Structure 1
Amino acid sequence: MQRRNLLLAASGLALPLAQPRLTCAQGAAVTMRLSHQYPPSHQNARIIASFAERVKERSQGAIDVQVFPAEQLAKAGENFPGVARGAFEAAAAVNFQWGNTLPEMNAPTLPYLFTDLEKIKAFPGSEAARFLEGLLQKRAVRNLMWLYTTRQAIFTSNAKPIVTPQDFKGLKIRGLNALTDHALTAVGAAPSSMPGPEVPQALQSGVLDAGLTDVSAAVSRRFYEFQKFGTVTPWFCVFTHVYVNPRWFDGLRPEHRAIIEAAAGEAEQAQIPLTEEVATKAVQELRERGMTLHMQGEAERAAWSAAMQKPVIDAFLKLAPENGQRAIDLLRAL
């Protein structure tokens, strides 16, 4: 019942608007409810859980970060309105989940644009990050941290490996979203966007010929049981970002804000080596489980980029005519 009330409050359908919980001058305990979509075993979920523990310890229990993984508090699409309206204090989102609402947030995921690890390390706190944070602020949420989620994609298939752009021709393939799917149609594939949990069944039944996912998801969703081949490539970069209700955050005591921000910065840095480690282990496990993997080389990467990147960038700039080029330029400058 409590979860239902929260969701109704977030949608504004039935209940009076819930106000974010504020601290008081006497130093009352602060509650920070944080909703996200990841299962507890995911590296993002583990980092967020560690963040919550660190905040509680450093505040000596004065700040209680209550984490709700696996959509226990709200569905992924309900997180933004829930936080913006004050139904709960914080949530996490994958950058491209903002879609047309904030199209500039798609910039890190444009194919082959932002996959160099050193640039990814430099992103938190950079001018590029601050630029996107300013756009988020205009949407009534304040960004708290950027959690690097993946830069390694895997294109899976059963009939033959996908090595050249020509190998995509005629394939029914899982897409990511309407924007990045321009890359797949440019090489003759027929993308179909669908949630990750639905992809294994679609591949097994023949609804899809080929899959596209991040390497660790290929392990967790057991792609090796129904796909023979995989091509691993730094095709995209995905960030998960945690954001808060700014009215709630501004109402905290300065020392509480400082504790939360410091722990968030540490989480950003801890996430980077963890995500790289998870990706390396995923590639090893896929091989051990019997998949034949092809690690894309520089020449192949250049060929894929030449065929795929421009159509996506053109579509991106139409979605974000005012700020899209600025977002691209700032990422390239890192």
Structure 2
Amino acid sequence: MLIPKSLRRLAAVLAAAGCAFAAAGASAQTTVLKYSNWLPAGQAMRVQVIEPWIAEVEKVTQGRVKIDTLPKVVGTVPAQFDVARDGQADLVVFIPGYTPNRFDILEIAQLPFLGDNPEVLAPAVDRFYRRHLASYNEFKGVHPLSVYVVSPGQLFNRVRPIRTLADFKGLKMRSPQASATQALTLLGAVPVSKPVSETYELLSSGVLDGTFMPPESIPAFKLTELVSHATIVPGAIYNTVLVLGINEDKWKAISQADRDAITRISGEAFARNIGKAYANGDKAAFETLRKAGKSVETLSPAVVAELKTALQPIEKDWIEKARKKGVADPQKLLDQMRADIAAGR
């Protein structure tokens, strides 16, 4: 049976329209997340973890969720939580310690001598947050995809090796967060609270004598030539918590199936990858410093014992802050965190 030419043309037009409609529908179902990036090119967290995770998000959602890395950071580095909460960007990495007196309960993971192995600590912090801290809702407006620590902050300065507590006195040291600031004050140093992104300028201009810093970040932020002495404190004076966070409304707008898929590759899995990247980066950083002729020394057990005694007020102050924020038994919570970290080892 022959079909009239006019009907064939009509069928072709309808078919084309149907394809266009289907394509438009598929496009409408794609959610594009704007990511505000402040990490430099080549930095371990960015290259080894975040960029592969971005690609994996698109893969596990079969292209329904894509992440667009913006050409420059939105706002300032300390303001990244607000950037996500207010919808200026959808996805951020923020550092709670950059805004003191705001995320007080979470500071439990930043206290002195919790540990110095990022491969253990990073996933342990995410697990602990979800089991024990999420209910306090300190991140209202931002959904935490992963809560983790990077390498513990160690000591780097251009003035002298630090071998005794007296060597801290008078040094102008960058501090990333409250417990590190308190530690420096207790030790007679002069803390300067600044984000990592400003460290190069402050060291090169002489405003700073040194910095607390994850070792990996010394070469990553081009600081190798600006420091002469590295001091490793076994157990670590502090750790810095970071959060991979997404605007709460944007998260809820993604389908449940895709949220589940993203959650499976985030959380503890993301944190574990961070720990591995930083553990490897730390080793490479210390090797770079040694090759550049810098001194790398480990604080003696006797001085570490003195440090622990000197820094006890930090833990006591956190317990008081946490109690004021509604934690019924802060000491029990801290004991639980230490037990979880020990179990992870």
TM-score (norm 2): 0.78
Partner of 1:254: 256
The answer to whether residue 55 in structure 2 is matched with residue 63 in structure 1 is no
What is the CA distance between 1:125 and its match in structure 2? Answer: 4.9
Structure 2: state its 5+ residue gaps. 1-24, 341-345
After TM superposition, list the pairs within 5 Å mapping 1:171-190 onto structure 2. Answer: 171-190=171-190
The answer to whether residue 159 in structure 2 is matched with residue 167 in structure 1 is no
The answer to whether residue 277 in structure 2 is matched with residue 274 in structure 1 is yes
Report the residue type matching 2:168 in the other structure.
Answer: F
1:154 to 1:241, Cα distance in 2 relative to 1, 3 A: same
Which of 279, 283, 288 matches 1:285?
A: 288
Specify the structure having the higher radius of gyration (Cα).
2
Partner of 1:38: 39
What is the CA distance between 1:282 and its match in structure 2? Answer: 0.3
SS at match of 1:143: strand
Aligned residues: 308
Partner of 2:103: 102
Report the residue type matching 2:84 in the other structure.
Answer: V
After TM superposition, list the pairs within 5 Å mapping 1:116-131 onto structure 2. Answer: 116-117=117-118, 119-120=120-121, 122-123=123-124, 125-131=126-132
What is the CA distance between 1:317 and its match in structure 2? Answer: 3.4
1:30 to 1:122, Cα distance in 2 relative to 1, 3 A: closer
Paired with 1:54 and 1:300, the residues of 2 have a C-alpha distance of: 45
Partner of 1:155: 156
Paired with 2:27 and 2:34, the residues of 1 have a C-alpha distance of: 21
Give a deviation string over 1:9-60, Cα, whole Å, max 9, x none.
Answer: xxxxxxxxxxxxxxx9997111222223212322222211111101112222
Paired with 1:311 and 1:187, the residues of 2 have a C-alpha distance of: 12
Structure 1: state its 5+ residue gaps. 1-23
What is the CA distance between 1:92 and its match in structure 2? Answer: 1.3
Which of 265, 270, 295 matches 1:263?
A: 265
Which of 218, 221, 238 matches 2:240?
A: 238
Paired with 2:310 and 2:138, the residues of 1 have a C-alpha distance of: 35
Paired with 2:127 and 2:260, the residues of 1 have a C-alpha distance of: 19
SS at match of 2:212: strand
1:30 to 1:127, Cα distance in 2 relative to 1, 3 A: same
The answer to whether residue 334 in structure 2 is matched with residue 328 in structure 1 is yes
Paired with 1:124 and 1:43, the residues of 2 have a C-alpha distance of: 19
SS at match of 1:182: helix
Paired with 2:180 and 2:222, the residues of 1 have a C-alpha distance of: 24
SS at match of 1:215: coil
Give a deviation string over 1:145-179, Cα, whole Å, max 9, x none.
Answer: 13442124123242x31111121123333333444
Paired with 1:268 and 1:286, the residues of 2 have a C-alpha distance of: 26
TM-score (norm 1): 0.80
What is the CA distance between 1:118 and its match in structure 2? Answer: 6.4
Partner of 2:303: 300
Report the residue type matching 1:315 in the other structure.
Answer: D
Paired with 1:202 and 1:27, the residues of 2 have a C-alpha distance of: 47
Report the residue type matching 1:168 in the other structure.
Answer: F
What is the CA distance between 1:332 and its match in structure 2? Answer: 1.6
Partner of 1:193: 193
Give a deviation string over 1:271-330, Cα, whole Å, max 9, x none.
Answer: 22111000110010011011011023444322222222x122233334433335465333
Report the residue type matching 2:291 in the other structure.
Answer: E
1:140 to 1:130, Cα distance in 2 relative to 1, 3 A: farther
Paired with 2:240 and 2:87, the residues of 1 have a C-alpha distance of: 27
Range 227-236 or range 124-133, more displaced: 124-133
